[in-house]
């Protein structure tokens, strides 16, 4: 059986699994269903779970779950997991679930549409998603095997779950190795991708790393209200200071902090920050994924990268949508150039425009921003009527090919001026 079909043709793969499911339930072995799952089905049915049953047992009311959360260690890392994997936007299609060590759901995050679908399965807070509670599912398999698991369609025991794909992994205590809970990402069959398991594993590693910090991770990724209630310690490697400015012009992007520290930025993170710098209303994870990766982009990958960016820059970057905090607006060197141009300070803008925006980036969205910035500077210089400023512009790498600026210089100084002649010869060459 071609297991790659679960990504390329999920409907066909699901039909094959459903046929195998009915045969196995009838006592006829099928290779499509792994032995470990068959064993789990048998254990579940021995516990009284019927393939037709769709209601898990409920251990607590939702109001009681709210109290349980406050005492649970995973409360400390839930904000980070939310940043990495959750999608509660209007178009969000997958559900983020976090259980305790027994499989009881303590948190779930998703759009209204996906929450309604989950409600139909009683996949909600206080429900028991262990084998004994609802039969074979990704959460129960993690609790049995102690390893990350993906279950697709009819690999679940209960038939009403056959429209779902689930990816889950255990979160363990770094000090003791004890399982603290299970992280699960679930949704319709076509929401599963080859990257889903990798993203869940990555999120688990982040959670476990935060749990291993001196404050248990409670200062990283916390909500503004939580952050405001205590002095958060910065993650390792991050300067303990506010962001002063972002350097996005040239080949070596970096974040500069108020204490004088300077942290280099990877090209991908710099590209994200350049996009944030270009739009005050912010970006969703889906929009950033498309702008940076096209149709192959995934919101999960963006959320992982944004978690790293926010861990480095702290409160400078807000989420839902992703955008710069008001205090950082126009603090990039590229933003400063635009601000100076809008204020009519063309000479200062040209002085600040030391290199193209992220000159190593080949991403189309960044190229467009680069061209827009270049056009803005060139246009302002050409109409300023200042010959020395035109000479400065034509002497830069960005302005060296600007024939319209050469023509503007010729009109100001005359066609016989040596400066015009030299630049005109350079353009022709």
* Residue where one domain finishes, among candidates 279, 296, 328: 328
Task: Say what percent of the chain tops pLDDT 90.
Answer: 55
DSSP state of 76: G
Give the domain extent around 362. Answer: 333-428
* Domain at 167, CATH number: 3.30.450.40
- pLDDT value for 143: 95
What is the spatial distance between Cα 69 and Cα 107, in angstroms, rounded to a whole number? 8
- pLDDT given for residue 236 in this prediction: 37
pLDDT computed for residue 229 by the predictor: 33
d(CA 208, CA 262): 28
The CATH number of residue 275's host domain is 1.10.10.10
Q: What is the DSSP letter of 235?
A: P
Same domain, 53 and 199: yes
Query: Do residue 313 and residue 339 come from a single domain?
Result: no
Asked if residue 348 lies in contact with residue 265, where contact means CB atoms within 8 angstroms, the answer is no
Q: What is the pLDDT of residue 191?
A: 87
DSSP, collapsed to helix, strand or coil, labels residue 97 as strand
Structure tokens at 290: 């498309």
Q: ω into residue 274 within 30 of 0, thus cis? A: no
187 shares a domain with 265: no
Does residue 341 lie within any of the structural domains? yes
Domain count, the chain: 3
256 and 339, same domain (yes or no): no
Do 297 and 176 lie in a common domain?
Answer: no
46 shares its domain with 138: yes
d(CA 150, CA 133): 19
CA 66 – CA 147 distance, rounded (Å)? 28
3-state secondary structure of 109: strand
| Residues forming beta bridges with residue 108, ordered by sequence position | 97
Pair (16, 158) in one structural domain: yes
Contacts of 28 by beta carbon, 8 Å cutoff, 6+ apart:
none
Q: Are residues 13 and 68 in the same domain?
A: yes
Residue 224 lies inside a defined structural domain of this protein: no
The owner of tokens 């990257």 is 195
Residues 203 and 309 placed together within one structural domain of the fold: no
Q: Is 220 part of any domain? A: no
CA distance linking residue 318 with residue 329, whole number of Å: 12
- Beta strands in 248-362, from DSSP E residues, in sequence order: 254-257, 262-264, 317-318, 323-324
In a domain, 41, yes or no: yes
In this structure, is residue 228 part of a structural domain?
A: no
Determine the distance from the C-alpha atom of residue 86 to the mean position of all C-alpha atoms in its chain, rounded to a whole number.
Answer: 9
pLDDT of residue 233: 36
Tell me, yes or no, whether 193 and 271 share the same domain: no
Using CA atoms in the order 89, 90, 93, 95, what is the torsion angle rounded to 10 degrees? 50
The confidence score (pLDDT) of residue 330 equals 59
User: Of 328, 355, 380, at which residue does a domain stop?
Assistant: 328
- pLDDT in the model for residue 235: 40
Report the alpha-carbon angle 298-11-19, nearest 5. 140
Helices 196-211/78-85 angle, 10° precision: 160
pLDDT at 273: 94
- Of 294, 311, 328, which residue sits at a domain end? 328
All residue ranges of the chain with pLDDT < 70 are 1-4, 214-241, 327-330, 429
pLDDT at 304: 77
Residues 46 and 130 both lie in one domain: yes
Question: Residue 227: inside a domain, yes or no?
Answer: no
Is there a domain that residue 19 lies in? yes
Within a domain: 216 = no
Examine the domain organization and report whether 164 and 289 are in the same domain: no
């Amino acid at each position: 059986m071609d297991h790659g079909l679960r990504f390329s043709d999920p409907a066909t793969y699901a039909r094959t699994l459903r046929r195998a499911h009915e045969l196995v339930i009838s006592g006829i072995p099928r290779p499509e269903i792994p032995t470990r799952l068959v064993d789990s089905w048998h254990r579940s049915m021995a516990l009284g779970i019927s393939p037709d049953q769709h209601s898990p047992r409920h251990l607590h009311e939702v109001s009681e779950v709210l109290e349980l959360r406050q005492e649970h260690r995973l409360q400390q890392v839930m904000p980070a997991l939310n940043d990495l994997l959750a999608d509660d936007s209007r178009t969000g299609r997958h559900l983020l679930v976090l259980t305790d060590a027994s499989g009881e759901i303590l948190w779930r995050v998703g759009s209204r549409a996906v929450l309604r679908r989950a409600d139909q399965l009683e996949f909600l807070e206080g429900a028991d998603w262990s084998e004994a509670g609802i039969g074979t599912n990704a959460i129960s398999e993690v609790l049995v095997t102690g390893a990350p698991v993906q279950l697709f369609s009819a690999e679940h025991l209960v038939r009403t779950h056959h429209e779902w794909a689930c990816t889950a992994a255990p979160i363990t205590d770094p000090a003791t190795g004890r399982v603290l809970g299970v992280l699960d990402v679930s949704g319709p069959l076509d929401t599963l991708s080859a990257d889903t398991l990798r993203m869940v594993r990555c999120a688990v590693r982040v959670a476990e790393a935060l749990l291993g910090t001196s404050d248990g991770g409670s200062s990283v990724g916390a909500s503004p209200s939580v952050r405001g209630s205590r002095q958060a310690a910065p993650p390792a490697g991050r300067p303990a200071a506010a962001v002063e400015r972002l350097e996005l012009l040239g080949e070596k992007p970096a974040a500069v902090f108020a204490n004088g520290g300077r942290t280099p930025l990877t090209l991908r993170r710099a590209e994200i920050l350049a996009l944030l710098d270009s739009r005050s209303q912010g970006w969703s994870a889906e929009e950033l994924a498309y702008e940076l990766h096209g149709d192959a982009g995934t919101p999960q990958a963006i959320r992982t990268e944004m978690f790293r960016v926010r861990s480095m820059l702290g409160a400078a970057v807000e989420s839902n949508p992703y955008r710069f905090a008001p205090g950082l607006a126009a603090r990039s060197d590229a933003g400063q150039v635009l601000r100076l141009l809008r204020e009519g300070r063309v000479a200062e803008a040209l002085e600040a425009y030391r290199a193209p925006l992220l000159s190593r980036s080949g991403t189309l969205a960044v190229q467009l921003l680069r061209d827009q910035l270049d056009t803005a500077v060139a246009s302002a210089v050409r109409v300023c009527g200042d010959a020395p400023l035109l000479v400065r512009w034509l002497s830069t790498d960005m302005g060296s090919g600007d024939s319209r600026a050469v023509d503007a210089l010729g009109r100001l100084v005359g066609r016989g001026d040596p400066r015009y002649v030299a630049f005109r010869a350079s353009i022709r060459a």
